[in-house]
C-alpha cells in the first residue's frame, strides 16, 4: 500500500509540473515589444528595396527615452521593425524617417560603389519628414506614401 501512495504522489507532482509547463508554453515569455510593420510607397508605387537598392525606415523616439526601431524594405515595399536582433519596438510616440538609395557600381573594379538618392532628402530626417507614429501595445501597421515632388 505504501508503494502506491508514493507512486501516486509522484504522479500527482508530475501532473502539476506538466500543467504548469504547458501554461508557460501557451502564454510565452514575450519580449515586451510591439510588432510594427507596413508598406512604403513613392508616388503610389511600392518603394522596393533589394538588389541594387538600399531602402530603410527608422522610428525614432519622440520625446521619450528608448532605442530607435529600424526596418529594411523588401521588393514589395514592406518592412518589419527591429530593435537590435529583436522584432518590434516599445510602445510610444515616434518620428519616422525613410530613405532609399540606388547603388551605383563603379566602372573600375577597384573603385568604390556610390549611391543615388531615390527619395527626397527631407524624408531621411525624422524632424523634417512630417511622418509620425503612435505605437500601441500589440500589433501595429503603418503605411507611408512619399511624394517625389512637393504638392503645389
Residue range 124-141, pLDDT digits in tens: 999 999 999 999 999 999
C-alpha separations of 102 from 49, 113, 119, 122, 123 in Å:
9, 10, 10, 17, 16
Domain assignment of residue 93, yes or no:
yes
Report the distance separating Cα 42 and Cα 9, nearest Å: 67
Q: Structural domain tally of the chain?
A: 2
Q: Is 79 exposed, middle or buried (0-12, 13-18, 19+ CB in 10 A)?
A: buried
> Which among 54, 61, 73, 90 is positioned nearest to 144, based on CA atoms?
73
pTM: 0.76
pLDDT at 100: 95
pLDDT at 29: 45
Domain assignment of residue 152, yes or no:
no
Tell whether 95 and 42 lie within a shared domain: yes
Tell whether 90 and 136 lie within a shared domain: yes
pLDDT (mean) for 113-134: 94
Question: At 100, which CATH number?
Answer: 2.60.40.1120
Give the pLDDT confidence of 46-62 residue by residue, as tens digits.
Answer: 998 888 899 999 999 99
> Which among 54, 59, 65 is positioned nearest to 35, based on CA atoms?
59
Question: Phi-psi region for residue 4, left (φ > 0), alpha (ψ -120 to 50) or beta?
Answer: alpha
Tell whether 82 and 103 lie within a shared domain: yes
Report the distance separating Cα 40 and Cα 30, nearest Å: 28
Tell whether 6 and 73 lie within a shared domain: no
Domain assignment of residue 151, yes or no:
no
Amino acid at each position: 500500500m505504501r508503494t502506491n501512495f508514493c507512486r501516486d504522489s509522484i504522479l500527482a507532482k508530475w501532473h502539476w509540473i506538466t500543467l504548469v509547463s504547458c501554461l508557460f508554453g501557451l502564454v510565452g515569455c514575450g519580449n515586451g515589444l510591439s510588432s510594427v510593420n507596413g508598406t512604403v510607397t513613392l508616388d503610389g508605387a511600392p518603394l522596393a528595396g533589394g538588389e541594387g537598392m538600399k531602402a530603410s525606415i527608422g522610428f525614432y523616439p519622440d520625446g521619450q527615452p528608448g532605442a530607435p526601431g529600424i526596418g529594411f524594405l523588401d521588393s514589395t515595399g514592406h518592412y518589419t521593425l527591429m530593435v537590435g536582433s529583436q522584432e518590434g519596438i516599445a510602445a510610444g510616440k515616434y518620428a519616422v524617417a525613410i530613405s532609399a538609395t540606388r547603388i551605383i557600381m563603379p566602372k573600375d573594379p577597384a573603385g568604390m560603389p556610390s549611391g543615388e538618392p531615390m527619395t527626397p532628402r527631407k524624408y531621411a530626417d525624422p524632424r523634417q519628414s512630417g511622418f509620425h507614429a503612435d505605437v500601441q501595445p500589440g500589433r501595429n501597421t503603418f503605411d507611408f506614401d512619399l511624394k517625389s515632388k512637393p504638392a503645389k
